[in-house]
A and B are shown apart, each in its own frame.
Chain A
């Protein structure tokens, strides 16, 4: 378990403590706070500044209790008043006036004036030694060195000095390799930096924006050590859907009403003036003005190479699209896009973008985003993405970087762009590619992307690891809720149900992926990669696949789980099944969880505790709704259902603790904490922890893209024989499954090495002599000498040593 997950796990206790303190009892049902009249809410909104001041004062008074020190302070952001009259305000933790990265508190000011605070997301005992050595310019240079932009920067990077908790350093990034059909380590996106020795350091958060025909649209963010210039963390701020698509409005939903704007000359634009009262900040930064939700199409500036977007405007009839879709304007024969050009040739956009068929994608996006805006407004009384009415936009027929031509369609993808405060939608690759998408503007996908923005301006879930999985799952769920809202007529203040038993309604991208769907919320593993429940090692999955835990949890919460093991909605973690609460109730519990109780680094345990708290506050402690929340989480192997005994847990132990060679030299620190190194075709004992059962036997299986799979039982003495595969330089996924409870398993990584370095068909300590002879030799003469690839190095010695030790322990 990484240090980060350890910390997240420990946060469960304070979160639960708060829940207990807030609820009078957990055994008898309590009454939730009543809804207040609208006039009272208006009054309370006017009092938000005073409420923030009161909450901040309470937090400041608690500093010594919280172990924060007198230098700590707080900065409020995104406050709102909920339907019960509670003012909810998120507070950045400040140290010497600077934000403590990832650390936040949430304050609740009740209508009567009582103040409660959720402080489990704060960093305790923050102390940063010295002053920043790097200037902001040097920090930008460090970030740009990693970014390696090929074209010009679209905007000057944004820089902020922060107090950075060292335990957030680094992160292994994974990506789905379509050729291997497996998750692989994304070396480019992984942060290979050693965590600073001090628990907190000065660092710069550097946000970059690239949008040109050499780089495409990228928004990389960096944490740069203000002392050394090392990149401590980096991530792509574009919160994309992989893959996501959409094209053709009437193609999916028939005729729709669109909110548009009419210009002084009588022409129309896809600009919903009733959705957004504040100007879009990015458009404003470019010298333009955008008020209201707007739909654009992408273009490339042929003179500068910059990518941009233009409005769907100047329309004379205000009747958009024709309900048909056309293939992605990509020439697969010549490997280049097909462009239309402006009259002077200075601008190029994807062919057909302005034709009626090209407008269809714009109608889909405009309708989908408009409905999503209305959904949040009408159901949750949320004024747009940031609850402040800031205008957002969608870009269809989006362009990305292409090596060959300078610009290419964003294909089976859609994404939320924090810098743009807007979204981008691709054209899809179907039917050119049979497994591609038609277009990325289907209703649940537009809802998904805008919900990323809502998350950014509420819980702020970090788009990585457990919190990234929650971020993605949240977007999938609210995308579906938007779809249900649209199916029900897109009016009213409640969320209708889908037709009973129609599971396709819970498939993300059901219509836009002809070969199936992007994700299956009722059984995420149907895609072959996603998780149906939590397990030790799930953090190695890309967030689009680890999101399966929350997806299925929220499906169960809404629709229930079957007790029939042959049913796709059956969960072995809750064999008796459960009854769902319906869309509206489930969504209200989760929305409250997202906006009031989750902090940026939340994990599944924290999300469970927070959603239980939300159910308590909405429906009372001990209510059927609270029980349903517990059951839904139990059904995805997070926590236990009421009355269930502790579950069998399988986990791989830490083999390489802090200070060991593989911890000290592998970056990010901890990445190899659990890796186990075995010699090939040798009987060894697997190291695996099984708790809460007397039967600690496990079965194993290994999988590699090239060698296939192997599986077997563990011998009675706990030993197993490794495959005869040779010369692995990569981490091989291994699954250990409990024989006591086959639903419980752990996934880890092993490295299999060839120890017979002298090729005499015997593994013994003499083999290490062959390794030693080749130390420092770039290309060892004996092929089997080298274990790790490249020149024989210290890594070979430690790999040999661990593999040998696993094979032949001292009696």
Chain B
């Protein structure tokens, strides 16, 4: 205790000797980054000492130390500051030395220490022997800007782009000098565009109205939120009744530019809503395809459909337990595994319960509901009633950014893709395989199919198994969207029946179009009506729709339709 107090006193004393700490830090930094990046190379030991000072410093002093670290131009600066930003910089309690920790993930028994200057292995240690070096919002903003300055000269154009966007949020003289210099050497058009945006934003403060006007015109239609803020500030009235921008031509141009930005944003927000709708629709299609087979083709109302999805979801969980080191591929392994697990459960249900109830759809509804209760309780007995965590693999996280206003997360993209692949496979099985031919024959005319030598009993079991297996595959996808628990299936059962009935029973294309359109309509309604009311509206519209067209969007025609 006594040791640490005295160390703090030293640091405080040293900080007090630095006049106007923050400004000096920026000046130093600007000097060495902008003018001679390699001029002030610092040795590893000196660098380590400087990092070590972070341990006892208060937040204001930490900011000043971070500034001096940046000024050193040492190769380890970026890693140390990133570690500080991500709460991975720790002080060792035994000797007060500061280390970077490789990963501070919760639940780790030991932390891997790295030397701050060289990032070399510095041994492992129990987390309770370390003190985290804490940060606050202000310091984190400072760190982000500092790192962005560093990154603005990275060889990777993507890193440079992010860095310039970060710098754009807090423009000051040093940053602008840096950006001007970058503008001269920048070759990547996207980065050059963002630098131009930054310099134009700065030019809005120029005393010459002509320069301001040109800047406003350049900024017209640019989607960066900073641009929108600055332009709307220009046309705002001040307290004394005048305008923030004295020149009328500039104001008119700014209003016009804002209109351009808003209309572009509206286009992208509609695109985004449609994309959200498509991904919701894909989920609906996924959960309904299996039902389209069991209900649509066989006429069996399978209330245990949701629980078969739940089995698929739990299969994913178990697969991840088996291969904790390969989370990335675990989902791909889980897809066939879930198909087999849920499919065999389906065949078992068909052989033991459903085959006695053909032609009595209301009774199958009751019996399969009983099966669903048993399956739920089974899962509670085996896995407990608590939700299970399924890890999202790294390739599923992140987003595809088109521009500042429009980005799609990868998991949404993958779910659309996955639904389409599953749909195409089911369609191919139904159309091109012997099993598909048999299934269609039996569903159209059971007696005739049997007379032609089709083993109808076997086909029934396989059809139900196929539908159940696809439910399991849908369950794998659901692990990425919702909690994996015993009630997972129940929440989707009404939705999936509505999709099948809306699309038209016995028509796979109807299921696809029905699911997608329900998803989009749902998302389009959400901004106006709210999520819950939107859903209620969709249900009411569906109920009314079924009155108008009791056989769905694409009704079956011909003889088969009569018996349904």
Asked if A and B bind, the verdict is no
